[in-house]
Amino acid sequence: MSKSVDYFLSLASPYSYMGGRRLPQIIQDTGATFHIKPVTGPKIMAATGGLPVAKRHPARLAYRLVELDRWKHHWSLPMNIRPKFFPVDDHSAAHMVIAAQRAGLDAIGLSNIFLACVWEGERDISDQATLVAAADKAGFDGAALAAHIDTAEITAAHQANTDEAIGHQVFGMPWFILDGVPYWGQDRIRFLAKALRD
């Protein structure tokens, strides 16, 4: 029987960018089902005592860049740790990913494409044309997915994901839950993968 994982993420998170790239291989190796649940990052932060990047102390900001650079080199990623479009409103990207999931498409693949737009491509994912072009290039019907942006159904699903995350005491991205056990961050994916294999 396939194991089931809830996968909470922000489409602007650098660590979701890092972690998301490893999920397809884990899914292939374990046969696990990942339920991707894009959330509204600022609402998660506000509910759990976090601060947006712009409001953090300079000491935390400096160390944040050290960590991003360290992990970038560890994973050999083509990552710009100071992207042109960050912070960025990711709600349109989130809505397209939710729409892809509901259509039975590769929503994790699409999320990775949008994350790469921010952290590799220097592209603005708050811009709908950018999202459509990126989705089209990857073989999705970008316009069809973009038609769901800000619809009542998808907006409600996005909010439900965020409420569910807050209910599970999620405070960072990416966040995984397997059998009621939380795994926070791209660096804990190794433990999640082990649990899926055991």
The CATH number covering residue 107 comes to 3.40.30.10
Q: What are 80-103's pLDDT values in tens digits?
A: 999 999 999 999 999 999 999 999
Domain count across the chain: 1
Q: What are 43-92's pLDDT values in tens digits?
A: 999 999 999 998 999 999 999 999 999 999 999 999 999 999 999 999 99
This model's pTM is above 0.95: yes
Containing structural domain, residue 70: 4-197
> Would the pLDDT of 159 be above 80?
yes
DSSP-H helix ranges across the chain: 14-20, 23-30, 41-48, 58-74, 91-102, 107-119, 128-137, 142-146, 152-167, 189-197
Residues 6+ apart with CB under 8 A from 156: none
Cβ-in-10-Å burial (0-12, 13-18, 19+) of 128 comes to: middle
User: Do residues 130 and 124 touch, judged by C-beta distance below 8 A?
Assistant: yes
